[in-house]
Amino acid sequence: MDYSGEVTHSELLLVRGTQPFNAEPKAEALVQFELTPDELVYCRNHGPVEDLDPDTYTLSIEGTPSGTARYTLADMAVMFTKHEVVAALQCAGNRRKEMNELKKVNGILWDDGVICNAKWGGARLRDVLLHANVNLEGAAHVQFASHVTPCEDDKYYGVSIPLEKAMDVDGDVLLAWEMNDEYMSPDRGAPLRVVVPGYCGARWVKWVDSIRLSAVESPNYYQARDYRVLPPEIETKAQAAPVWSKYPSITSLALNSVVASATLRKGSDTNVLLLKGYASQHIDGKITTIEVSVDEGASWRPARISYQEGRWSWTLWEAEIAGVGEHGTAYSRATDETGNMQQRECKWNLRGVAYNPWGTRKW
């Protein structure tokens, strides 16, 4: 692949790979902001990142009465009402490094910074599809593709989401060109990216240039042979090859929480432990409670939720615990409105995705 046109990336990130560029911030830095600044947003790429010309960029939508409808960014800004949604974006491989400590996994060893929270702005996908008058008969999925550059495992990047999610007004799926009230940077997917609140980052296609409706999911590698939770008995790529289709594609990630920082303040009478962290919800329920423990889960105390916004944001939290020793381990767990509670352990899988045991941080 040709990296001669690669853009300059943030220097505030921990680099996990250079070609393609993959990097994440420290979780401790992330939780200082309700809306994540561009320079602290993780970078997950399968190919080069280039600065594309928004004036010439075109989105093609197949399956219209005329065959293919085409929209420029200028067209979309004028023709469609701009909608905004605050939503967390999280890589399915967040916390993979921890799972790798159980047993070796295949994939970038991400720590716990592969998540962000932002206000996204653009056109509703449903509005664009309805305007294009696409044929909905027999369709069950919306396939997205970006042909801007080749990828590591396929000629282009392609995934899909259920048509029901795409057409749901409350699903808030966007074709976005803004993040935090500014035109998106190339690293975020400019000129145009898909925003799928409640779904993992793999479905939020950057530099999207093609959309089509289909009765089946995208046949692309990144939908058909990746981003699926395989059972623990599948331990090698060879074992995985014939069974990918037997297991569902990841849509919404499981309930999760992370202890981003643990700061000890020593006192003459007692030590005080200050904890900060984030939590991310499953699409089925908003987070209602964060609890922390410093005794291996024998007892729990509530943390204070300091930020939530709307239906799709992350949750920021903090806690203060007095009377702790000079060293120890802090744990966190989240509970949502359906009663679902984050568990201490999570099963291993070959790709190291969707890892969500209790959050943990030593001090």
Average pLDDT over residues 263-279: 94
Place domain 14-246 in its CATH homologous superfamily. Oxidoreductase, molybdopterin-binding domain (3.90.420.10)
Residue 240, pLDDT above cutoff 90:
yes
Residue range 297-305: average pLDDT?
98
Residue 301: predicted pLDDT:
98
Q: Is the pLDDT of residue 66 over 90?
A: no
Output 268 or 168, whichever has higher pLDDT: 168
- Report domain extents, the chain: 14-246, 256-362
* Per-residue pLDDT reduced to its tens digit, 150-161: 999 999 999 999
What is the average per-residue pLDDT within 331-339? Answer: 98
pTM for this one? 0.97
d(CA 137, CA 209): 23
> Within 13 Å, how many C-alpha atoms sit on residue 244's CB side?
18
Mean pLDDT of 17-39: 98
- The reported pLDDT for the residue numbered 268 is 82
Q: How confident is the model at residue 246 (pLDDT cuts 50, 70, 90)?
A: very high
In Å, how far from its chain's centre is CA 111?
Answer: 14
> Given this model, what pLDDT does residue 322 score?
96
Which are the contacts of 160, defined by CB distance < 8 A and separation ≥ 6? 141, 142, 143, 144, 203, 214, 217, 218, 223
Residue 267, pLDDT score: 85
Return the pLDDT at 355.
98
Q: Could you report the per-residue pLDDT of 179-232, keeping only the tens digit for each?
A: 999 999 999 999 999 999 999 999 999 999 999 999 999 999 999 999 999 999
The two structure tokens encoding residue 322: 């007095």
> Do 225 and 250 contact (CB within 8 A), yes or no?
no
pLDDT per residue over 107-145, tens digit each? 999 999 999 999 999 999 999 999 999 999 999 999 999
Please determine, looking at this structure, whether the domain spanning 256-362 carries the CATH number 2.40.50.100: no
For position 45, what pLDDT does the model report? 98
Residue 106 DSSP code: S
- For 342-353, the pLDDT digits (tens) are 999 999 999 999
Segment 84-113, tens digit of pLDDT: 999 999 999 999 999 999 999 999 999 999
The pLDDT-based confidence of 311 (bands split at 50, 70, 90) is very high
Angle at 91 between CA 85 and CA 93, to 5 degrees: 160
